[in-house]
Amino acid sequence: MSTARDPRHPRSTRPAAATRHAPHEVRIIGGQWKRTPLPVADAAGLRPTPSRVRETLFNWLGQDLSGWRVLDAFAGSGALGLEAASRGAGPVWLVERDAGLLRSLQWVVLKLKAADVVQLRQGDALAWMRQPQAQGAYDLVFLDPPFEADLFDSALTAAQGCVPEGGWIYLEAPRRVEAGPGLQLRRSGQAGAVYFHLFQRVAAAADAPSA
């Protein structure tokens, strides 16, 4: 879930064509916390991934993510990372730069009694993914960076180092994003002005143009 607070650039209003008016809450749609509401701050540019997109994504990934190590790199409302945790993933790391949004996430984690599974960190998502200890540390990385900052290619490159061969990267963007070397685009879709992509890391010998 991207927020209006980019770790690297001052925020501006995103072009109207890509704007989603955030509801005051979204709900987890599957797993042990199904139907649990998640608060959504009234913040410019905060774009919680819609339920129908999350439903599609987890149909692609599978409903049971038991044991998956997950990073929600631009956490925002936390809907993506918490949806994964609800379906058995853990540990799940939520990285968010904005202190106010992080406090909201802390409240949600306490409400869910999920502190043993969900780890919260305040910080720069790109810097986090580029740390040596993040390399190969996750099975799945969620990327929903702020649209106006145009971080899609750099975020995808950083996330690629965070997953081993066979690992997954989910990316939302206002345009189609091509797979670079070492990645294959397995599935993609569009919801309004938002494009969503599911990439898989592959061996160099298996590199092929995106589907």
- Give the residue extent of every domain in the chain: 19-206
Q: How confident is the model at residue 14 (pLDDT cuts 50, 70, 90)?
A: very low
Tell me if 115 sits within 8 A of 107, measured CB to CB: no
pTM metric for this prediction: 0.84
Report pLDDT digits (tens) over 183-209. 999 999 999 989 999 999 998 755 545
Count Cβ atoms below 10 Å from residue 69 Cβ, excluding itself. Answer: 20
- Beta-carbon contacts of 33 under 8 Å, excluding residues fewer than 6 positions away, are 82, 85, 86, 112
Q: How confident is the model at residue 122 (pLDDT cuts 50, 70, 90)?
A: very high
Cis peptide before 132 (omega within 30 of 0): no
Provide the percentage of residues in the chain whose pLDDT is more than 70.
82
Give the integer Cα–Cα distance in Å for 4 and 66.
31
Mean pLDDT of 52-57: 94
Tell me if 120 sits within 8 A of 145, measured CB to CB: no
Q: How confident is the model at residue 149 (pLDDT cuts 50, 70, 90)?
A: confident
Q: How confident is the model at residue 44 (pLDDT cuts 50, 70, 90)?
A: low
pLDDT of residue 49: 83
* Check whether domain 19-206 has CATH 3.40.50.150, yes or no: yes
Provide the percentage of residues in the chain whose pLDDT is more than 90.
68
Mean pLDDT of 71-82: 94
pLDDT of residue 183: 97
- How buried is 23 (Cβ within 10 angstroms: 0-12 exposed, 13-18 middle, 19+ buried)? middle
pLDDT of residue 150: 78
Which residue from 85, 59, 56, 54 is spatially nearest to 71, judged by alpha carbons?
85
Write down how long the chain is.
Answer: 211
- How buried is 50 (Cβ within 10 angstroms: 0-12 exposed, 13-18 middle, 19+ buried)? middle
Question: Mean pLDDT lowest for which of 5-14, 91-100, 124-133, 198-207?
Answer: 5-14
pLDDT of residue 21: 45
